[in-house]
Amino acid sequence: MHSEPVDLSAWRVRALDFERQLNAVLVGMPRTVRLMTIAVFARGHVLLEGDVGVGKTTLLKAVARGIGGAYQRIEGTVDLMPGDLVYHTYVGDDGRPRVEPGPLIAQGSELAVFFFNEINRARPQVHALLLRLMAERTVSAFNREYTLPWMQVFADRNRVEREETFELPSAARDRFLMEVSVEAPDARDQLRGLMFDTRFHDADALISSVEPGMLDHTRLNDVAQSIQDTVQSSPALDDYGVDLWLATRQPAQYGVQLSDVDIDQFILSGASPRGVAMLARAARVQAWLEGRDRLVPEDLHAVFFEAIAHRLCLNPVYETQRPLYARPFVTEVLRQVASP
């Protein structure tokens, strides 16, 4: 770990340059890029969701290049087993079986970004290993414990194809700082560029435009802690945050209503204590990126949906239609709870 002091002003300049370079790679996705930048400096794991071909992998490769350190990727498949993350076996040239370190431990402690593609195609046993990895940043293999102090997990889920998939349990989803939806832009000029500008047809060339290692993965934990220590709240904002939390648990008491929904039966459990702590953590990074050392309600609003919606446990009647209800519910919570 580094002991030298953190110059947050200089790091903010670097963070905004990182964000600018990502926006040059991902056309028409400024909000998605801001959320990813927040996640990097909050040191939280991210689950991405989107259609095929909208740029999720390009975004993650660009983020990994800017962070620096080692990058590993694994594909979620129905036959993937937990051991496949920590070792792989093969037959050597001499015909004898060999065992080599897998993607999680191949680079030792230098692993900075671990990308789990199509995580919902992997079995629950794999999710369980990932759960521990995300919580503790350690993994056991070859009779020893590997520590991955810089590792950040990014996973994506294909929301179109549902055959042979295994949805993440609530405990696993709660480990993600945010769930971020990646959508293709809808502005006509941006769509024209994506279709006809050949610059966007070569993803590798776009990714190579990002300055490699510009954030220095070995400093990010220290920078993140400094942000959390520096950006302050206030008693009024604390009360507001608690009211938002309680409104996710007892929506009827806060006047939250949705059409065609029995609000008393809608929520099984609201945001978890871990979830609202992560909300505050992400909000502090948002405030810092905006050049402030004090939280305002808009900082909570900026990350509220992505930090909270996936943590809500809905009644099974409504769970099957979560995409239809989640955003209106969160929007209504923010509307009904008076901000200071």
pLDDT (tens digit, 9 = 90+) per residue, 310-334? 999 999 999 888 889 999 999 999 9
**Interior/surface letters 113-152, b for 16+ CB within 10 angstroms, e for the rest:** bbbbbbbbbbeeebbebbbebbeebebeeeeeebebebbb
Cα dihedral across residues 278, 224, 169, 162: positive or negative: positive
Helix (H, G, I), strand (E, B) or coil at 118: coil
Q: What is the pLDDT of residues 95-126, one digit of tens each?
A: 888 888 888 988 888 999 999 998 988 888 99
Give the phi and the psi of residue 182 in degrees, each rounded to 5.
-105, 115
Q: Which of 125, 144, 147, 126 shows the shortest CA–CA distance to 136?
A: 147
> What pLDDT score was predicted for residue 188?
77
Closest to 57 (Cα-Cα) out of 202, 192, 184, 156: 156
Whether residue 276 contacts residue 284, with contact meaning beta carbons closer than 8 Å, is answered with: no
Q: Could you give the CA distance from residue 237 to residue 72 in angstroms, rounded to a whole number?
A: 40
Instruction: Tell me how far apart the alpha carbons of residues 207 and 65 are, in angstroms, rounded to a whole number.
Output: 8
pLDDT at 2 over 60: no
Distance, in Å, from the CA atom of 220 to the CA atom of 11, rounded to the nearest integer, reads 10
DSSP secondary structure code for residue 111 in this structure: E
Q: Residue 182: pLDDT band by 50, 70, 90 thresholds?
A: confident
Nearest C-alpha neighbor of 199 from the set 25, 72, 331, 55:
25
Q: What is the pLDDT of residues 59-91, one digit of tens each?
A: 999 999 999 999 999 998 888 998 899 887 878
CB 156 within 8 A of CB 117: yes
Q: Name which residue leads in pLDDT, 102 or 232.
A: 232
pLDDT of 92: 80
Q: Do residues 182 and 30 touch, judged by C-beta distance below 8 A?
A: no
- Rounded to whole angstroms, the Cα distance separating 339 from 287 reads 17
- Mean predicted confidence (pLDDT) in 136-154: 90
The predicted model gives 1-12 an average pLDDT of 82
